[in-house]
């Protein structure tokens, strides 16, 4: 059991229809590791500047997240600014300052190099090769998430990386774009032919669909009455999914279905507060209760 | 067991990104009755012109649909023209010729007046009163569906009708509009306070959500690889739902959950072909198979 997450740790400035928050902690790696930490002890590879808050490091450590792969560099932490409209599925990027993330060279400490599950969370697809090169053996599962930015700017590198991964997380827009079909199901099935054995389509408030060669699984999102900040929901979904799979040990259809629901449940908590705030109080007991409630909600 | 459906029988001219079809048979009453006919023997109240095809009447009769409440008037049948973009959830109305539907005065034959379930499918909310007035007793369930047109043009009449119904079907846009909240869950719960005991939110390809005072139920849509014509999906959903409930006799949480899935399954067949064409060959066996497949798809 070990899950290695390569991703960003960042400051986010977020505007929702109700509120604006300046420079709160975010980042795909941060969200994903926090979500996974309710199931396993994730190991993080990333980079921050000297301005990254000590108390966030302490929070991550208190959740048993291994930070030996986190580089602290002179300079500023990655900063993203975005705005949400009334539809939380739609957001506009206002500014992206890569800062120390610009020259990020992932370095895996020796204790990371036997990872069972490796997750490349929204990083430059050109960094995949150097990460693979540091591993002692091929992980049982390699997972990849991406963003529109890499599809637009580095499609060849992305397709090359995609060919070597087992699990690909993407939202519906990205699946339709990469699968070259306006029908999500057809596009999803098509992506299966590009390499991954499992395609996980994150549909935000509409849930998630999982395509594999053997079965399709779908789940709703937990109905959320108060979406405070949708940032990081997808990263938390991936973190919960992979954390749950890592904990389960086995990776058959039953475990994949369960992991999908855990991913969805963790994401439903994350969006109840700004940034990573909800993780400061969240407990495994709350997660298990919502999992059971959700099971009742969809039973027929 | 009896289900009375008051709705439109129409010609539709439909343009999808792939094809255009002129004056094919549609209408909320037509779709709804066909869908319901796989579970019960629905009774239709509606009006058509002399141009309405004999072969459609024959098809409806062959499905054991009671047409004694169907008026055939001199003049032309209601004609709607619309266009779909690449997102089948979005459509534009190009033309609406009400024709004989303009002066539609629903008349319930004596055999209809003890209905167990009454469904007002997208009709002018001002017609609800005259329909209720013809019933011998209050049906066990009164259900209402509406369209944006009535929300915009006759909101008072609509809210008045809503106060007297048990079940309200609406799509997510309509629920947010009537429930005055951008959050679907909050808007749905708010609608429960306006009268209906059950609010059913039709989310198209994203499934459906059911709100009651006692429980919430959600289901995905059956993943459809080939959406040929989304017209009538909502009407078929309502028809399958109400037909299944009428057949079940009981109307508790278990029957409501099952009815929702049947509604969704029937709708998933309807969109596989233009207009009502899919109903020409559909069998109960196919419906039951897809129901079982769907159950496996969402199991965890």
Question: Could you tell me if B295 lies within 8 Å of chain A, comparing CB atoms?
Answer: yes
Domain with B84 in it: what CATH number? 3.40.1190.20
- Our count of domains for chain A comes to 1
B219, A220: Cβ pair inside 8 Å? yes
Where residue B96 falls among pLDDT bands split at 50, 70, 90? very high
What would the pLDDT profile of A208-239 be if each residue is shown by its tens digit? 999 999 999 999 999 998 899 999 999 999 99
How many CB pairs below 8 Å do chains A and B form together?
80
CA of A202, closest CA in chain B: separation in Å?
12
Tell me whether residue A164 is in a domain: yes
pLDDT by residue for chain A (300 residues), tens digit each?
899 999 999 999 999 988 999 999 999 999 999 999 999 999 999 999 999 999 999 999 999 999 999 999 999 999 999 999 887 778 899 999 999 999 999 999 999 999 999 999 989 999 999 999 999 999 999 999 999 889 999 999 999 999 999 999 999 999 999 999 989 999 999 999 999 999 999 999 999 999 999 999 999 999 998 899 999 999 999 999 999 999 999 999 999 999 999 999 999 999 999 999 999 999 999 999 999 999 999 999
CA of A220, closest CA in chain B: separation in Å?
6
pLDDT at A297: 95
List the single residue in A220, A254, A297 with the smallest CB-CB distance to B220.
A220
With beta carbons under 8 A apart, name residues in chain A contacting B220. 207, 218-220
Its pTM stands at 0.94
Question: Could you tell me if B182 lies within 8 Å of chain A, comparing CB atoms?
Answer: yes
Q: Which residue of B has its CA nearest to A190?
A: B225
List the single residue in A182, A184, A298 with the smallest CB-CB distance to B218.
A298
List the single residue in B86, B185, B206 with the smallest CB-CB distance to A225.
B185
Exposed, middle or buried by CB within 10 Å (0-12, 13-18, 19+), for B141?
buried
What would the pLDDT profile of B117-164 be if each residue is shown by its tens digit? 999 998 999 999 999 999 999 999 999 999 988 999 999 999 999 999
CA of B136, closest CA in chain A: separation in Å?
34
d(CA A94, CA A131): 30
A218, B218: Cβ pair inside 8 Å? no
* Interface ipTM: 0.89
List the single residue in B182, B209, B261 with the smallest CB-CB distance to A300.
B261
A220, B224: Cβ pair inside 8 Å? no
Residue ranges of A 42-71 with Cβ closer than 8 A to chain B: none
A216, B297: Cβ pair inside 8 Å? yes
Least Cα distance to A17 among A93, A121, A75, A88 occurs for A88
What would the pLDDT profile of A238-249 be if each residue is shown by its tens digit? 999 999 999 999
What domain range is A239 assigned to? 26-43+109-298
Q: Residue B168's beta-bridge partner residues?
A: B144, B199
B196 has a pLDDT exceeding 90:
yes
B295, A300: Cβ pair inside 8 Å? yes
Question: Could you tell me if A214 lies within 8 Å of chain B, comparing CB atoms?
Answer: no
What would the pLDDT profile of A32-73 be if each residue is shown by its tens digit? 999 999 999 999 999 999 999 999 999 999 999 999 999 999
B300, A258: Cβ pair inside 8 Å? yes
A298, B298: Cβ pair inside 8 Å? yes
Question: Could you tell me if A164 lies within 8 Å of chain B, comparing CB atoms?
Answer: no
Q: Which residue of B has its CA nearest to A205?
A: B206
CA dihedral A160, A165, A167, A169 (to 10 degrees): -30
Tell me whether residue A21 is in a domain: no
Tell me whether residue A277 is in a domain: yes
CA of B243, closest CA in chain A: separation in Å?
17
DSSP of chain A, one letter per residue?
Answer: --EEEE---EEEEEE-SS-EEEEEEE-HHHHHHHHHTTTS--EEEEEEETTS-HHHHHHHHHTT-EEEEEEEESS---EEEEEE-SSTT-EEEEEEE-GGGGG------GGGTT-SEEEEES--GGGHHHHHHT-SS--SEEEEE--HHHHHH-HHHHHHHHHT-SEEEEEHHHHHHHTT-SSHHHHHHHHHTTS-SEEEEE-GGG-EEEEESS-EEEEPPPP-S--S--TTHHHHHHHHHHHHHHHH---SHHHHHHHHHHHHHHHHHHTTSSTTGGGGT--HHHHHHHHHHHHHHH--
Cα A192 from chain centre: 20
Question: Could you tell me if B227 lies within 8 Å of chain A, comparing CB atoms?
Answer: yes
pLDDT at A165: 97
pLDDT at B89: 76
CA of A296, closest CA in chain B: separation in Å?
8
Residue ranges of A 70-99 with Cβ closer than 8 A to chain B: 86-87
Tell me whether residue A133 is in a domain: yes
What would the pLDDT profile of B102-111 be if each residue is shown by its tens digit? 999 999 999 9
Question: Could you tell me if A41 lies within 8 Å of chain B, comparing CB atoms?
Answer: no
Question: Could you tell me if B212 lies within 8 Å of chain A, comparing CB atoms?
Answer: no
Tell me whether residue A232 is in a domain: yes
B51 has a pLDDT exceeding 90:
yes
List the single residue in B184, B217, B297 with the smallest CB-CB distance to A297.
B217
B224, A86: Cβ pair inside 8 Å? no
Tell me whether residue A169 is in a domain: yes
Question: Could you tell me if A110 lies within 8 Å of chain B, comparing CB atoms?
Answer: no
């Amino acid at each position: 059991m070990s899950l290695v997450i390569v991703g960003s740790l960042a400051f986010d400035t977020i505007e929702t229809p109700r509120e604006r928050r300046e420079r709160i902690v975010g980042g795909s790696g941060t969200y994903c590791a926090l979500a996974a930490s309710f199931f396993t002890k994730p190991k993080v590879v990333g980079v921050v500047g000297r301005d990254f808050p000590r108390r966030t490091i302490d929070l991550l450590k208190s959740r048993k997240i291994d930070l030996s792969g986190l580089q602290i560099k002179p300079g500023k932490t990655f900063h993203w600014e975005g705005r949400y409209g009334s539809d939380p599925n739609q957001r506009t990027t206002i500014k992206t300052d890569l800062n120390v993330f610009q020259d990020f060279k992932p370095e895996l400490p020796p204790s990371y190099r036997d990872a069972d599950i490796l997750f490349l969370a929204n990083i430059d697809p050109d960094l995949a090769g150097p990460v693979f090169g540091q591993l002692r053996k091929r992980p049982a599962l390699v997972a990849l998430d991406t963003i529109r930015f890499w599809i637009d700017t580095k499609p060849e590198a992305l397709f090359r990386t995609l060919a070597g991964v087992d699990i690909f997380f993407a939202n519906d827009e990205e699946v339709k774009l990469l699968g070259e079909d306006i029908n999500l199901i057809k596009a999803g099935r098509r992506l299966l032919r590009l390499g991954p054995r499992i395609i996980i389509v994150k549909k935000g408030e509409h849930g998630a669909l999982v395509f594999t060669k053997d079965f399709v699984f779908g789940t709703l999102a937990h109905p959320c009455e108060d979406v405070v900040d949708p940032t990081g929901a997808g990263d938390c979904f991936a973190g919960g999914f992979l954390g749950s799979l890592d904990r389960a040990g086995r990776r058959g259809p039953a475990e994949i279905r369960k992991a999908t629901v855990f991913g969805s449940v963790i994401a439903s908590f994350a969006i109840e507060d700004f940034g990573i705030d909800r993780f400061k109080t969240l407990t495994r007991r709350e997660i298990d209760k919502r999992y059971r409630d959700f099971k009742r909600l969809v039973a027929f």
